[in-house]
Amino acid sequence: MPRAKGGPKTRARRKDRLKLAKGFFGGKHRLFRTATELVDKGRQYAYRDRRQRKRDFRRLWIVRINAAVSTHGLSYSKFMAGLKKAGIGLDRKVLADLAITDPQGFAKIAETAKSKLAAA
């Protein structure tokens, strides 16, 4: 059986892989083996980080809500418990956005949560 060297299939596969390495520095976008290793690793990171991004944003929102709520004399956990008792169904993303863009509106929500906690 003859040895397959670098026919159209192989060239096409390598071209596709090098296309994915576009923008990499130095030989990393020119050399097939290096490009392959880096593209594979990059895809692993992309897969992992698509899931991690969701965690990171949730953590950021919680930190922002906690900072805004502490000025009203509440902790984050007490605030969330008060919201639940008050029947306010806003998610953390919206609450964090309100804390930054509309402090007065957030203050009203915090007071509502505080009053529900005191009543219980």
- pLDDT tens track, the chain, 120 positions: 787 777 898 899 999 999 999 999 999 999 999 999 999 999 999 999 999 999 999 999 999 999 999 999 999 999 999 999 999 999 999 999 999 999 999 999 999 999 999 886
- pLDDT of 4: 74
Report field, pTM of the whole predicted structure over 0.85 = no
Between helix 103-119 and helix 76-86 the angle, nearest 10°, is 80
- What is the residue type of 9? K
What does the pLDDT read at residue 119?
A: 84
Do residues 51 and 81 make contact, with C-beta atoms less than 8 angstroms apart? no
How would CATH label the architecture of 8-119? Orthogonal Bundle (1.10)
Domain ranges across the chain: 8-119
